[in-house]
A and B are shown apart, each in its own frame.
Chain A
Amino acid sequence: MVTITTVETLQDAAANKGQGTAFLGGGTLLMRGVNYGDQNVSRIVRLRQPESLAGVSSEGERVRLGACATMATILKSADVAFLHAVARAVGGPAIRNMATVGGNVFAPHPYGDFAVALLALDAKLRMSDGSELELERLLAARETETRLIESVSAMRPAGDDFRFLKVTRVKPRGASVLSIAAWLPRRAGRISGARVAFGAMAPTPVRTPAVEAALEGVSLDQNGIDRALQSVANDLNPPDDSLASGWYRKEVAPVHLKRLLLGQGTR
């Protein structure tokens, strides 16, 4: 049996966290578990007014997304136009009206494509206790995290410095065989400080340090990216699932990374 606790603030919700307790975001993952009798959930905590944490705003060179902002909210905001392709890649219109930014951070493999983009964009999380935490650190320990996310701050990339690609078997919408997000700041035409993240290639979205190192100082052409393409396999150990084997994912990752970097597969 699952019970519901409705609270007024995120801090109240965090105080209610505990064994068997799950926080309701958009419900797209939690409720499917409940429908199928997930025995790990015995209590759902929800905010009475989640809209209070659904804002999207600019903060200088960064943007801030409320944890309860939905993919549809993202798509309606001109401030985060660079994230529209990412939000549009999450489910169909009904899912996008429900799925939240905060929920996506906790989405299990092979979901969580929005978090892949956030990871590439140096996302920092404001937690329910007021602290700030890098998304990368949360992802590494999200199974044991007891705090809740209040909002996410991400870099606003310049021009076409940000690229995202999602590979699915089902068209036009499906879960990821893999997804890639790359933030490629350039100085005098050469990449400086790239962040490249993959989704569905590990239990959580992950950065690829060897790829990022191989992209440092190169230009975005075939010669420049060759070493990065050869490095992909070093950083990734993807799981098998019903969509693709780990072997397949590893084999095709360089192909899709090449398309992304050369602008052939940007969506």
Chain B
Amino acid sequence: MSKTPVQFSLNGSPAAVFVDDAQNLLDVLRRGVGDLSPKYGCGQGTCGSCTVLIDGEPHLSCLTLAETVEGRAVETTNGLAEGPQLHALQEAFMENFAAQCGYCTPGMLMAAKALLDRTPRPSREEVIEAISGNICRCTGYEPIIDAILAASGQPTRRTG
């Protein structure tokens, strides 16, 4: 099996790894780079727990051939906080009880970040659309939707 060198930006820092043929980005992030924040859920693009941002747009890292991120910018949940200071989305997820088992949370956070980066004050419908590719089996989604709205500074069903 051959190895291919791949260089990309991971959460703003340069990353360089040798990837195996047909290795997916999720596997490279978790086992090659040691970033365990994106999760392996289904491996078939259904659950969204492996969602990362590539050049600012959400992608499913389990379905992304690793060598295709050469020269691109990858963002994961590990890059959200600045030291001890959590990202507004992470704070809002805590405040709104948007995580139970937490397995979907990294994917939800990245899908939400992509939305807020593009649309700072989204409507509830836009939030639902943004996380429509992410499955949560615990919360029933409402706390997650509320958290994303709260992070954008808008009233939620609880507070509004």
Q: Please measure, in the bound complex, the distance between the C-alpha atom of A98 and the C-alpha atom of B22, giving whole angstroms.
A: 17
**In the complex, are the beta carbons of B62 and A46 less than 8 A apart?**
no
Please indicate the chain B residues that have their CB under 8 angstroms from the CB of A94 in the complex.
45, 48, 51, 58-60, 111, 133
Count of A interface residues, CB-CB < 8 Å: 26
> Beta-carbon contacts of A16-33 to B below 8 Å, as 1s and 0s?
000000001011100110
8 Å CB contact of B128 from A2, A27, A91, A172: A172
Interface of A is mostly: mixed
Q: A37-75: which have CB < 8 Å to B?
A: 44, 46, 72
Q: Please measure, in the bound complex, the distance between the C-alpha atom of A1 and the C-alpha atom of B130, giving whole angstroms.
A: 36
**In the complex, are the beta carbons of A36 and B44 less than 8 A apart?**
yes
Contacts A92-B134, A93-B114; A27 near B65 (Cβ below 8 A)? yes
Is A97 close to B, CB under 8 A?
Answer: yes
Q: Please measure, in the bound complex, the distance between the C-alpha atom of A98 and the C-alpha atom of B69, giving whole angstroms.
A: 13
**In the complex, are the beta carbons of B22 and A95 less than 8 A apart?**
no
Please indicate the chain A residues that have their CB under 8 angstroms from the CB of B129 in the complex.
93, 172
Count of B interface residues, CB-CB < 8 Å: 31
Please indicate the chain B residues that have their CB under 8 angstroms from the CB of A28 in the complex.
45, 60, 63
B1, B59, B111 — which one has the most chain A CB atoms within 10 A of its CB?
B59
Is B67 close to A, CB under 8 A?
Answer: yes
Q: B20-43: which have CB < 8 Å to A?
A: 21-22, 24, 43
Question: Can you list 29 A-B contacts with CB-CB less than 8 angstroms, sorted by A residue number?
Answer: A3-B21, A3-B22, A6-B67, A24-B65, A27-B68, A31-B24, A31-B45, A32-B44, A32-B45, A34-B24, A35-B62, A36-B44, A44-B22, A46-B65, A91-B45, A91-B133, A92-B131, A92-B132, A93-B129, A93-B130, A94-B45, A94-B58, A94-B59, A94-B111, A95-B45, A97-B54, A98-B60, A172-B129, A173-B132
**Nearest 8 CB-CB pairs, A to B?**
A92-B133, A2-B22, A32-B44, A94-B58, A31-B63, A35-B43, A92-B132, A173-B132
* Chain B residues close to A by CB (< 8 Å): 1-2, 4, 21-22, 24, 43-45, 48, 51, 54, 57-60, 62-65, 67-68, 111, 114, 128-134
Known: A4-B4, A92-B48. 19 other contacts (CB 8 A): A2-B22, A3-B2, A6-B67, A24-B68, A26-B63, A27-B63, A27-B68, A32-B43, A35-B24, A35-B62, A35-B63, A46-B65, A92-B111, A92-B134, A93-B58, A93-B129, A94-B48, A94-B51, A173-B132
